[in-house]
Amino acid sequence: MVLYDARSKRALTVTAIERETNAPYTQAIAALREKGVVIQSIICDGKSGLLGAFLDICANFTKLKIIVRHLSRKP
């Protein structure tokens, strides 16, 4: 699991995990928040349940759905 900062172009944390559950993600995000890192958005590969764990952080998928709701895909 890699948490990456798009602005500085560096990995914030790299962790080897055996099973891809939501727990390692929530622990890593909590650790980053304790260090004072401000998380503006999350881009994930479609892991089910992960977006529900971070309701206060806008996800890339959520942003797309908001845009599609207000605009047509076939203008």
- Domains contained in the chain, number: 1
Dihedral sign, CA of 5, 22, 46, 71? negative
Q: What per-residue confidence (pLDDT) applies to 41?
A: 75
Spatial separation of the C-alpha atoms in residues 11 and 9, rounded to whole Å = 7
46 falls within a domain: yes
H or E segment and range at residue 50:
helix 50-53
40 falls within a domain: yes
Torsion of CA 19, 50, 63, 35, to 10 degrees: -90
75 falls within a domain: no
8 falls within a domain: yes
Express each pLDDT in 46-75 by its tens digit.
Answer: 666 776 666 666 656 556 666 677 776 666
12 secondary structure, DSSP code: E
Express each pLDDT in 25-50 by its tens digit.
Answer: 889 889 999 999 888 777 776 666 77
Q: 12 with 5: CB under 8 angstroms?
A: yes
Percent of the chain at pLDDT exceeding 90: 13
pTM tops 0.85:
no
Q: Please compute the mean of the pLDDT values over residues 12-28 and round it to a whole number.
A: 87
pLDDT band at 22 (very low <50, low <70, confident <90, very high): confident
| Residues spanned by the domain of 29 | 2-70
